[in-house]
Amino acid sequence: MSGLWALLVLLAVAWLGGLVGPRNTSRGQGLASGAEWVALGFVVGPAVLGLVSREITGALAPLAGAGVAWLAAIVGLEHGAAGRKLAPARQLAAVLLVLPPFLLVAAAVAATLAWREGTAFLGGRDHLLLSLWVAAALAATSRSAMRWAVERQGARGPVAQLLGDLTFADDLAPVIVLSALSAHSAVGLVREPAGLVGAGVASLALGAVVGLGAALLVRLDARDDAIAATLLGTTLVVAGLATWLGLSLIASAYALGRTTAMASGSRERLASLADRLERPVLLPTLVVAGSLVDPLARPGLLPIAAAAIAALLAGKVVSSLALAAASPPLRRSALALGPALASPGPFAMCVGLVASLRSPGGTGGAVLACAAAAVVAGELLSPTALRRALGRAGALEARPPAGGAPAALPEAGP
Amino acid sequence: MSAGGRPTLAKLAGAAAGLAIVALASAVTRAVPGDPGFAGSVGAFGLLLVAGTALASALEPVGFPHLTAFLVAGSVMGPHVLGVVGHRAVEDLQVVNTLALALIALAGGAELRTAELRGALRGLGWATLWHNLVGVVGMAAVFFLVRPIVPFAAALPAAAAAGVGILWGVTAITRSPSATLGILAQTRARGPLASHTLNFVMTSDVVVVVALALALTGVRPLLEPGTGLSFEALGEMGHEILGSVALGTTLGLALVLYLKLVGRQVLLVLLALGLVFTQLFSWLRFEWLLIFIVAGFVVQNLSRQGPALLREVERAGEIVYVVFFATAGAHLDLPLLASLWPAALLLAGARASLAWGAQRISSRFADDPPAVRRLGFAGLVSQAGLALGIAAKVASEFPSFGAAFAALAVAVVSVNELAGPVLFKVALDRSGESAPAAEREAGAHPAAGESAGHRPR
């Protein structure tokens, strides 16, 4: 019966997750990053109270993996902005702004590993992989951060719009990294004919091919029921195939969502349909991810996580300065904007969870633990800093609006 | 989508896309050795959804029932044809299948309205009497007569063959609530035929459980000479039915309270009921299908929450039906059907003929409307899980011939499962009760606060 109880617990969490959102807005209560759900999973999990055993978390982990695929597909569907196309310049800016935190986090983790283990910088494949996985997990900003600022603090205007757009488009770079990282785990069937580079893009290619099929299927039958079945079906197909072929689950599902949105001609409708099922999937996934966090997954994890978080902050400050240089209204708030954008959110936990599923303990466990630490730290720093930054940029109204987000701002997600 | 409104090219492209995805998955399945584990089951679930939806949409313009398309897609993808969905995945998906059936049962109960039942009580009473009487006696006789071509029954003594025939008759009177609801959801049919079929199929479950208990008690002395009549099965049946009705009523009242006081996240509550409580009820040896039907009935008729419940169940919409029927298709034992087809076809044909005859008799007594009189049998041909459940019960009670009995049941149910939905849909179309395509399309996009539920009159 333990599996059934675990499932019941998971559904109860999903139920709670759905209840905490008010009726008239798509988001609302709780923390932007979902850190409280991660913490809940961690506390009840085997590492702390042990109310949920390792056997149960192990049984639930694959289900959470399927949840990650669905969430990644939603991120792809909503890339840029739900229901509208983002200007290419802004998309490029989003990708470029992720690079400083990505590079700094990777370097900091690699340096800490070298220091702790007395090896050369990037001394071995394990160090390289761990550095890149952690960097990919942490580099993007939670898409919920700006949504929360809009709903709770009344953020408005072009600055709020710009930051909202950027947080909705900056997942692309980490996704590409994840796809490339999967080259080393791809099965021979993929790696031998395609080579390392080919295997590196295979995850994205798989998602794009199935996504094209999904788009045609959406055009074939545009009933809501049929679209929902197609989206869910193709996401699960991609999740199954990616796992089977040793490819990146997140990159494939993301590419599926993005291709479907672009090729179906129904971007807004698809995003709206997928969004309905986002939060009930997201929260149980976060709880399971939290329960799998093991602070002892690797010796010296604490300094690694601390270095990663410090590098993330530094990287976001660099990005903010670059952004402020290009956008005059942000100049007065450039320094506060760094920590404001240092909230990795659910995407980081999804990456950590997949890493942990692929390589339990060791590297995977370390990625998940770093992601959890960064999510909690980001939640402590980011909301206050964001409020300050938006206030200095003149993007905050005196009182929060009653009716939720303006139509132009994208829906939030992981 | 309007069925005929889309350019043919888009339909062809969509169908080709579905095929391409299946081909890709098939290629990976063959090329990568080893057991994919959970990933295989996840992928299989997705493939059944994609293939079922694509085939149903592609065949919609020619009037092909969605359910049959889901079944065909599932059987083609299943272990006996392409093998993209393997045996392990089919077994893993039983959990999802149970969930789907629980939701279907809940919706089925909620579609039964006392006001309509009262009006149809006479017809329903006669139909229940004649269909079950003619079904059990007639099919027992047919089985007895055709036993020379039934491998396991050919050598049985006459008394034992009669006993097996009675068990076969009970298996034959099972119907398929899921197929009935699935076809009604697709056609959004309204009228006496739709209403009669729905009422009859939903209430027949109880009759079947009683008939099985009586048959198990009565035929044992015929099949196992030397054993006397034992009323243990009747006691178990009483416990099972009364307990299930009580639990169903409690569950229904709890759902009413939840819908009234909370009213949010209903789908998740239904998921918990379907995934977890079905297991719990089975473990307690109650008939969970009956529990869910009763719960739905209670919500509909003892409160004002019926439309809300139906709306929530229908939010899962097509996914529920695709999963249930595509998995059933993947489960179809085609090699077995190939080896038993003469007997299976004969028995399935006899069953349909007897249903036709019973309908004519009962309609004469009840003075049914012409549509019910002529076509009322068509919705009663489909069979699914309940028949297989009874066959499994027989197999466990009578191990000497039970496995072969169950195999024949699987073969006959396969025929009925494939042919039944087609017959019912044709009947609804011919009677003029199927909603026009435009109305069906409108039903797929219900306005806020409006139930998209099927409303047979």
* Residues A141 and A413 sit within 8 Å (Cβ to Cβ): no
Minimal CA–CA distance to B52: which of B29, B32, B78?
A: B78
pLDDT band of B102, cuts 50, 70, 90: confident
pLDDT of residue B285: 79
Of all residues in chain B, the one with the smallest CA distance to A242 is B39
> DSSP assignment, residue B114?
H
Cβ contact (<8 Å) for B46 and A189?
A: no
Calculate the alpha carbon distances from B119 to A137, B133, B195, B406, B433 in Å: 63, 23, 11, 39, 19
Q: Residues of B with CB below 8 A from A229's CB?
A: 49-50, 52-53, 317-319, 322
Q: How far does the CA of residue A355 sit from the closest CA of chain B (Å)?
A: 15
Greatest mean pLDDT among A265-274, A294-303, B134-143 lies in B134-143
pLDDT band of A134, cuts 50, 70, 90: very high
Residue B71, pLDDT above cutoff 90: no
Cβ contact (<8 Å) for A236 and B49?
A: yes
Residue A13, pLDDT above cutoff 80: no
Residues of chain A with pLDDT > 70, as a percent, come to 87
Minimal CA–CA distance to A54: which of A370, A365, A375?
A: A365
Residue B8, pLDDT above cutoff 60: yes
Residue A328 and residue A315: Cα distance in Å, rounded? 20
Residue A25, pLDDT above cutoff 60: no
Counting the structural domains of chain A, the total is 1
> DSSP assignment, residue B291?
H
Residue B398, pLDDT above cutoff 90: no
Cβ contact (<8 Å) for A219 and B14?
A: yes
- How deeply is B256 buried, as exposed, middle or buried, from its count of CB atoms within 10 A (0-12, 13-18, 19+)? buried
Q: Residues of A with CB below 8 A from B265's CB?
A: 14-15, 18-19, 280
Residue A7 and residue A11: Cα distance in Å, rounded? 6
Q: How far does the CA of residue A242 sit from the closest CA of chain B (Å)?
A: 9
pLDDT band of B451, cuts 50, 70, 90: very low
Greatest mean pLDDT among A314-318, B96-100, B117-121, B277-281 lies in A314-318
pLDDT of residue B131: 94
The partner residue sitting opposite A233, judged by closest CB among B53, B269, B279, is: B53
Of all residues in chain A, the one with the smallest CA distance to B48 is A233
Identify the residue with better confidence: B92 or A13.
Answer: B92
Identify the residue with better confidence: B213 or A127.
Answer: A127
pLDDT of residue A172: 87
Q: Give which of A223, A249, A277 to mutate to test B binding, by max B Cβ within 10 Å.
A: A223
The partner residue sitting opposite A245, judged by closest CB among B28, B45, B264, is: B28
* Residues B198 and B456 sit within 8 Å (Cβ to Cβ): yes
Minimal CA–CA distance to A310: which of A337, A339, A286, A282?
A: A339
Q: Residues of B with CB below 8 A from A62's CB?
A: 38-39, 42
Q: What's the full length of chain A, in residues?
A: 414
pLDDT band of B447, cuts 50, 70, 90: very low
Q: Residues of A with CB below 8 A from B36's CB?
A: 240, 243-244
Residue A343 and residue A31: Cα distance in Å, rounded? 11
The partner residue sitting opposite B53, judged by closest CB among A19, A229, A244, is: A229
Dihedral angle sign, alpha carbons of residues A191, A197, A201, A205: negative
Give B168-196 pLDDT, tens digit per residue. 999 999 888 888 888 888 888 989 999 99
Task: Please name the residue that has the structure tokens 């269909």.
Answer: B131
Of all residues in chain A, the one with the smallest CA distance to B30 is A189
pLDDT of residue A5: 67
pLDDT of residue A235: 93
The partner residue sitting opposite A220, judged by closest CB among B14, B47, B48, is: B14
Contact map slice: A 142-171 vs B, CB within 8 A: none
Q: Name the residue range of residue A136's domain.
A: 35-392
pLDDT band of B359, cuts 50, 70, 90: very high
pLDDT of residue A213: 92
Greatest mean pLDDT among A218-227, B283-292, B343-352, B447-456 lies in B343-352
Q: Residues of A with CB below 8 A from B60's CB?
A: 221
pLDDT of residue B339: 78
- Average pLDDT of chain A? 81
Give A329-370 pLDDT, tens digit per residue. 778 787 888 888 888 888 899 999 999 888 776 888 999 999
Cβ contact (<8 Å) for A209 and B24?
A: yes
Of all residues in chain B, the one with the smallest CA distance to A227 is B53
pLDDT of residue A237: 92
Calculate the alpha carbon distances from B83 to A74, A134, A297, B74, B75 in Å: 30, 39, 40, 10, 9
Give A60-90 pLDDT, tens digit per residue. 777 788 889 998 998 888 876 545 566 777 7
pLDDT of residue A298: 81
Cβ contact (<8 Å) for A189 and B32?
A: yes
Using the Cβ of A238 and the Cβ atoms of chain B, whether some distance falls under 8 Å is answered with yes
Identify the residue with better confidence: B137 or B310.
Answer: B137
Using DSSP, state whether B92 is helix, strand or coil. Answer: helix
CB neighbour list of residue B96: distance below 8 Å, 6 or more residues apart: B45, B323, B327
Range with the lowest mean pLDDT among A98-102, A404-408, B217-221?
A404-408
Helices (H) then strands (E): counts for chain B: 20, 0
Residue B299 and residue B258: Cα distance in Å, rounded? 11
Using the Cβ of A192 and the Cβ atoms of chain B, whether some distance falls under 8 Å is answered with no
Of all residues in chain B, the one with the smallest CA distance to A230 is B50
Element (H, E) at B343: helix B334-366
> Taking residues A83-111, what's their average pLDDT?
84
pLDDT of residue B7: 57
Cβ contact (<8 Å) for B36 and A187?
A: no
- Phi, psi values for residue B198, rounded to 5°: -60, -50
Query: Does residue A284 belong to any structural domain of this protein?
Result: yes
Q: Give which of A203, A236, A354 to mutate to test B binding, by max B Cβ within 10 Å.
A: A236
Minimal CA–CA distance to A185: which of A370, A355, A361?
A: A355
Q: How far does the CA of residue B246 sit from the closest CA of chain A (Å)?
A: 23
Q: How far does the CA of residue A87 sit from the closest CA of chain B (Å)?
A: 29
Cβ contact (<8 Å) for A236 and B6?
A: no
Cβ contact (<8 Å) for A7 and B275?
A: yes
Residue B187 and residue B456: Cα distance in Å, rounded? 11
Cβ contact (<8 Å) for B279 and A4?
A: yes
Cβ contact (<8 Å) for B265 and A280?
A: yes
Query: Does residue A14 belong to any structural domain of this protein?
Result: no
Using DSSP, state whether A30 is helix, strand or coil. Answer: coil
Q: Give which of A1, A26, A218, A241 to mutate to test B binding, by max B Cβ within 10 Å.
A: A241
Minimal CA–CA distance to A108: which of A320, A350, A100?
A: A100
Residue B288 and residue B246: Cα distance in Å, rounded? 12
In chain B, domain spans: 96-444
* Residue B213: both structure tokens together: 């208990």
Query: Does residue A125 belong to any structural domain of this protein?
Result: yes
Residue A135 and residue A307: Cα distance in Å, rounded? 11
Q: What CATH number is given to the structural domain containing A58? A: 1.20.1530.10
Identify the architecture of domain B96-444 in CATH: Up-down Bundle (1.20)
Query: How far from the centroid of its chain's Cα atoms is residue B15's Cα?
Result: 27
Using DSSP, state whether A155 is helix, strand or coil. Answer: strand
Q: Residues of B with CB below 8 A from A56's CB?
A: none
Residue A268, pLDDT above cutoff 50: yes
Cβ contact (<8 Å) for A240 and B49?
A: no
Residue B332 and residue B71: Cα distance in Å, rounded? 9
Task: Please name the residue that has the structure tokens 């590196």.
Answer: A200
Express the helix, strand and coil content of chain B in percent, nearest 5 each: 80, 0, 20
Give A269-284 pLDDT, tens digit per residue. 887 777 777 777 888 8
Cβ contact (<8 Å) for A213 and B20?
A: yes
CB pairs under 8 A between A and B: 172
Residue B48 and residue B362: Cα distance in Å, rounded? 40
Residue A216, pLDDT above cutoff 80: yes
> Taking residues A201-216, what's their average pLDDT?
93
pLDDT of residue B232: 72
Q: Give which of B103, B268, B312, B325 to mutate to test A binding, by max A Cβ within 10 Å.
A: B268
* Residue A89: both structure tokens together: 């310049």
pLDDT of residue B277: 84
Dihedral angle sign, alpha carbons of residues A103, A107, A108, A110: positive
Q: Residues of B with CB below 8 A from A216's CB?
A: 10, 13-14, 16-17
> Helices in B81-191 by DSSP H: which ranges?
87-92, 94-111, 114-119, 121-146, 158-172, 177-187
Using the Cβ of A59 and the Cβ atoms of chain B, whether some distance falls under 8 Å is answered with no
Q: How far does the CA of residue A168 sit from the closest CA of chain B (Å)?
A: 27
The partner residue sitting opposite A221, judged by closest CB among B20, B49, B53, is: B53
Query: Does residue A406 belong to any structural domain of this protein?
Result: no
Count CA atoms closer than 13 A to B239's CA, side-chain side: 9
Of all residues in chain B, the one with the smallest CA distance to A239 is B43
Cβ contact (<8 Å) for A187 and B45?
A: no
Range with the lowest mean pLDDT among A7-11, A23-27, B377-381?
A23-27
- How deeply is A21 buried, as exposed, middle or buried, from its count of CB atoms within 10 A (0-12, 13-18, 19+)? middle
Q: Residues of A with CB below 8 A from B20's CB?
A: 213
The partner residue sitting opposite B31, judged by closest CB among A8, A189, A229, is: A189
Give A174-203 pLDDT, tens digit per residue. 999 999 988 888 888 888 887 888 888 999
* Residues A57 and A288 sit within 8 Å (Cβ to Cβ): yes
Contact map slice: A 269-328 vs B, CB within 8 A: 280
Give B144-172 pLDDT, tens digit per residue. 998 888 878 888 888 889 999 999 999 99
Q: How far does the CA of residue B22 sit from the closest CA of chain A (Å)?
A: 9
Residue B441, pLDDT above cutoff 60: no
Q: How far does the CA of residue B46 sit from the closest CA of chain A (Å)?
A: 4
pLDDT of residue A4: 64
pLDDT of residue A33: 73
Give B276-320 pLDDT, tens digit per residue. 888 888 888 787 888 998 999 999 999 999 888 888 887 776 777
Calculate the alpha carbon distances from A143 to A78, A150, A161, B269 in Å: 10, 12, 12, 28
